[in-house]
Amino acid sequence: MSSSLKISVIIPVYNEADTIRSCIANVKESCGDDSEIIIVDGSSDGSTLSAVDDAGVLLLASPPGRAVQMNYGEQKAEGDILLFLHADTTLPSSAGSLVRKALRAPCTTAGAFKLGFDSSSRTMKFIAFLADLRCRIERIPYGDQAIFISKTTFLELGGFPEIQLMEDVEFFQTIKKKRLEIVILKESITTSARRYLSTGPLRCALRNTFLRLLHRLGVRTQTLAAMYCRRES
């Protein structure tokens, strides 16, 4: 895969006005000014889009739902490589080069970065360690690890399943069922620990593990999403 291939960074947002400018600046620094940045807002008030003052960023509104927003962003993307990024996640330096290099490997289909948090607490470091261990064993990264894939392959796979929760898990399960290679980079992204800290780090980690277990047991994603929302509130 050529180093000249264009990267489209797709950022699904919902009430991220406070973080979106720093997110854009980080993408430009880590992926280069020639990368395409697409922000897809699922909020009806458009507050996140209103906070963007960069004419080079493509701003889109869509129905809510992370999978719906990401798929819509892909439809407008002109890049050869798609990188799906959460607004509260910071990419490492030279992320663009790292992604291109990873996808140049003959067998690699898709990948993600190692998980890291913007917290120095031992609990959060331990949670990140366990998440990385799980990810390297299962080869199923989560959406907050900055998933990347070639646009051609993404289309061949049919995009993200438009479900309320676990769209990232089901997407990578499909890749695994096809016996395609998934790479987890050793470089870390840095994602916000705000949800963990507001809910309680251990409680949040256990909740996520429990929901993932129920998903593996075949519980409907609508039920899981309802359980997730109740615990968030």
Check if the beta carbon of residue 225 is closer than 8 Å to that of residue 233. no
Q: At what angle do helices 95-104 and 20-31 cross, to 10 degrees?
A: 60
Please tell me the predicted confidence (pLDDT) of residue 1.
53
In a domain, 212, yes or no: no
Tokens for 209, please give them.
Answer: 């593990």
CA distances to 48, 75, 97, 189 from 91, in Å: 20, 23, 12, 5
Q: Using the predicted structure, report yes or no on whether residue 158 has a pLDDT greater than 70.
A: yes
Determine the average pLDDT of the residues in 84-88.
97
Please tell me the predicted confidence (pLDDT) of residue 233.
45
Amino acid sitting at position 220 = R
Of residues 131 and 217, which shows the higher confidence score? 131
Q: Using the predicted structure, report yes or no on whether residue 178 has a pLDDT greater than 90.
A: yes
Which residue has 């910071």 as its token pair? Answer: 90
CATH number of the domain that residue 148 is part of? 3.90.550.10
Residues 6+ apart with CB under 8 A from 183: 102, 105, 108, 110, 111
pTM of the model: 0.91
Q: What is Dmax (Cα atoms) for the chain?
A: 46
Check if the beta carbon of residue 13 is closer than 8 Å to that of residue 20. yes
In a domain, 210, yes or no: no
Please tell me the predicted confidence (pLDDT) of residue 230.
56
Structurally, how many domains does the chain consist of? Answer: 1
Please tell me the predicted confidence (pLDDT) of residue 190.
97
Average pLDDT, the chain: 91
Please tell me the predicted confidence (pLDDT) of residue 132.
93
Q: Using the predicted structure, report yes or no on whether residue 164 has a pLDDT greater than 90.
A: no
Could you report the per-residue pLDDT of 1-38, keeping only the tens digit for each? 555 789 999 999 999 999 999 999 999 999 998 999 99
Q: Using the predicted structure, report yes or no on whether residue 203 has a pLDDT greater than 80.
A: yes
Range of the domain at 43: 7-197
In a domain, 230, yes or no: no
